[in-house]
Amino acid sequence: MRFAPVLRSEWLKIRTLRPLLGALLALFAVTTAFSLLVRAPERPSPDFDPLSTALSGVMPGQIAAISFGAMAVSSEFRGGALRVSLAAVPRRGRWFAAKMTAIAVPALAAGWATSLAALLAARAALGSGADGLTGGEQVRAVVGCGVYLTLMALFAAGLATLLRSGTATLSLLVPFILVVSFVIGDAAGALVEFMPDRAGQLVLHRTHEGTLGPWSGLAVTALWTAAALLTGAWSLRRRDA
């Protein structure tokens, strides 16, 4: 079977699973709602970053992106769905590529829509506090934010393929992002820059310090994602459906 019909069938699965559409809606709603609540300090300090403040809703919102990627894959491991999929598409690599593409495209579209809406909402909330932002900085943040959310969704999808469980994937990633990355990460010194979430989030900052910059940070997150996808593909090839 050619790639196009396989991709079409995988997209149909995602489009018809309500929890997946709900996750993308939650990504938009949560991120935008948090951005509406931001306020500029009355006396901004020199290190006040209006760009990262405006997109601070991405931090809780990314949980929905991770859930989307994990659930899109874990649904194949329930009720023998994977056996049916692989019976229709015996070439597992082709099926896996189609599944990841079907996850990436809506995640990227939702990520861009979310980041743009969140930035516009936060600019209204910040008022004059956001006046110093340039057009280039805002475009970079919106584009980079969408790419970052897509990479995190694919990272979760790769891990879910390896672990064969959405629950296990979320139990691993959510505490890592909410606790380990910030609590233990701050004690890790310069190494914290190279964590998958912290590296990619540099694109949301107006200024940055350290080894990585906005795009090199996204590249580090992309490497983590590639490693997760390759490991997931290896597991899919080696293990029975």
Residue 40 phi, psi (nearest 5): -80, 140
Is the separation of the CB atoms in 23 and 170 below 8 Å? Answer: no
How much is the CA Rg of the chain, to the nearest whole Å? 19
Is the separation of the CB atoms in 205 and 49 below 8 Å? Answer: yes
| pLDDT at residue number 217 | 92
| pLDDT at residue number 200 | 92
Residue 64 burial class via C-beta count within 10 angstroms: exposed 0-12, middle 13-18, buried 19 and up = buried
Question: What average pLDDT does this structure show over 175-204?
Answer: 78
| pLDDT at residue number 27 | 96
| pLDDT at residue number 96 | 93
Cα–Cα distance between 24 and 181 in angstroms, integer?
Answer: 24
pLDDT tens-digit map of 17-37: 899 999 999 999 999 999 888
Q: How many residues does the chain have?
A: 241
Is the separation of the CB atoms in 182 and 138 below 8 Å? Answer: no
* Both tokens assigned to 9: 């069938």
Cα–Cα distance between 28 and 8 in angstroms, integer?
Answer: 25
What is the residue extent of each domain of the chain?
3-238
Residue 2 burial class via C-beta count within 10 angstroms: exposed 0-12, middle 13-18, buried 19 and up = exposed
pLDDT tens-digit map of 135-158: 888 899 999 999 999 999 999 999
Residue 165 phi, psi (nearest 5): -160, 125
Residue with structure tokens 């809406």? 117
Strands (E), the chain: none
| pLDDT at residue number 50 | 81
When mean pLDDT is compared over 27-36, 73-82, 173-182, 193-202, the highest value belongs to 27-36
Cα–Cα distance between 134 and 58 in angstroms, integer?
Answer: 20
Residue-averaged pLDDT of the chain? 87
What's the CA angle centered on 116, arms 142 and 201, to 5 degrees?
40
